[in-house]
A and B are shown apart, each in its own frame.
Chain A
């Protein structure tokens, strides 16, 4: 029943679905969740780096969006507006607790080896393991960035947002986005320096 209702919305713009929800068809909100949940979840995970917390925060973002729907004026894309809410949920969450690093790079110690996939030494059988290792290292490096650099970097590099969109989400100037991206990239390179040098040399 719900699916048949949802399928009616398949070719309808987000803003029209928002109007339906505001008219009282609250089930239509499910269509918006289906359309945007993966991207919202990815953004939240990129910013938080923890599965359970990301799940909770992504749900919270949708609930907040549902409550705030009356305030959505359609001046920006619904996805941009939703992302802003998700990012703000993450920023509030990060502020409310000391950022938790699930595995810090420091914990690997000085003798930690860069994954061979970086250096092109990996055999096919190792690729899966190496890739997981690489994922973990990148997550750790992201976790070690300051919040403002991390958020800006994730929105640009992982989410592929334009500078204008990032500036809109973070309520800052495009110049600030440029500056944060530059500094964030520089910091990331410093964090990954040893492994990165090996990778570059390879």
Chain B
């Protein structure tokens, strides 16, 4: 006597038999069972009829503008993608330009504010200043007080 489980397995095989999706061995098994089982034959007949029932059912067709609507949406999407790509390129170019501009500006500023001074140039410029100061002295500047002032101011500089 078949258990419930065996019956279920056979019915599942029957469903696959209907779809011609059984292995040779399973097909032979179910065909043997069909020969001896009225209930299984009846169940197969019901499955076939249900299939006929659904074969009579036809889903409605899309309207004739469906393809056009999809075409329009696709082309809109393409345009949007192109715009997005264009904006991205523009933004990248702008960032690059700003970066290069800033770099150039900073380099220029740096050139002007920090002039490289060699030791020789520094000494020469100090000597020139001393010479100019001495040359600009008048007779009064050689008075005792004035010389003292100059010496003191030099020492405190």
Q: Which residues of A contact B (CB under 8 A)?
A: 2, 26-27, 29-30, 33-34, 37-38, 41-42, 45-46, 51, 55, 58-59, 62-63, 66-67, 118, 131, 134-135, 138-139, 156-158, 162-163, 174, 178-179, 181-182, 185-186, 188-189, 192, 196, 199-200
11 intermolecular pairs with C-beta atoms under 8 Å apart: A26-B74, A30-B71, A46-B59, A59-B73, A62-B70, A134-B56, A174-B21, A179-B12, A189-B50, A196-B50, A200-B46
Least distance between B8 CB and chain A CB atoms (Å): 8
A158 proximity list for chain B (CB < 8 A): 54, 57, 59
Please tell me if the beta carbons of A41 and B19 are within 8 angstroms of each other in the complex: no
A185 to B60, CA, bound (A): 23
B56 proximity list for chain A (CB < 8 A): 131, 134
A163 to B75, CA, bound (A): 36
Q: Which residues of B contact A (CB under 8 A)?
A: 11-12, 14-16, 19, 21, 46-47, 49-51, 53-54, 56-63, 66-67, 69-71, 73-75, 77-78
> Can you add 14 more A-B contacts, CB < 8 Å, to A135-B57, A181-B15?
A2-B71, A26-B78, A30-B67, A45-B60, A55-B66, A58-B66, A59-B70, A63-B73, A66-B77, A131-B56, A178-B15, A182-B12, A196-B46, A200-B49
Please tell me if the beta carbons of A33 and B70 are within 8 angstroms of each other in the complex: yes
Closest A residue to B15 by beta carbon equals A182
> A163-B19, A163-B21, A199-B49 are known contacts. Are A33 and B67 too (CB-CB below 8 A)?
yes
